Amino acid sequence: MKKIITLFLLATCISYAQEERADIFSRKHEVKIGAIKLLAGPIFEGTYEYIQSKDFTYGVSLLGNLDSGNDYYEDFSVTPFARFYFQETKEFGAKGFFVEGFAKYSSGRNTTNDYYDSNSVKYNAAALGLSLGKKWINRTGFVFEVLVGVGRTLGNSDAMPDAIFRGDLNLGYRF
């Protein structure tokens, strides 16, 4: 009788583990929040990412500066992106080291501090850039991501910055 109960429990655990793994494979949507900007800013950056395959994803990030009195140069931005993942094991897919190409539209203010005067000029700009990062995901779907990138602004206005920075420590959930 003990052998039958042990076999039953073992079979139940194995089927539950396979069901949990299949559940991770079927998850295609991910939402994340930029932690450093939110704590330091307060600047909210939310990201949605769709998992197309185990090696390719795409999504969009929205940034909103919640305190226009701080020194951060962007007040609002929209950043669509595409990512290519490079990992040896593909247990969950769309995790590990990635390279990202992005386009960005931003509006904000460029502050010039002269010795006698401080001026703030508003701008609207578009940019193209590349990012590198790494993503970790656990079995329950929680995500931690490190992202660093740089882009070049398009156009020739004196008010907009020549280059833009993209980066944060993102916390999120895959569902």
pLDDT tens string 145-168 = 999 999 999 977 777 888 999 999
Q: What is the pLDDT of residues 38-81, one digit of tens each?
A: 998 899 999 999 999 889 999 999 999 998 778 888 899 999 99
Which of 20, 104, 92, 19 lies closest to 57, judged by CA? 92
Reported pTM: 0.81
Q: Which domains does the chain have, with CATH numbers?
A: 27-174 (2.40.160.20)
Tokens of 54: 């185990």
CA atoms within 13 A on the CB side of 126: 4
What's the pLDDT score for residue 12? 46
What's the pLDDT score for residue 66? 92
47 or 92: which leads in pLDDT: 47
Q: What is the pLDDT of residues 112-150, one digit of tens each?
A: 665 665 677 888 999 999 999 999 998 889 999 999 999
Least confident of 14-18, 61-65, 171-175: 14-18
What's the pLDDT score for residue 16? 43
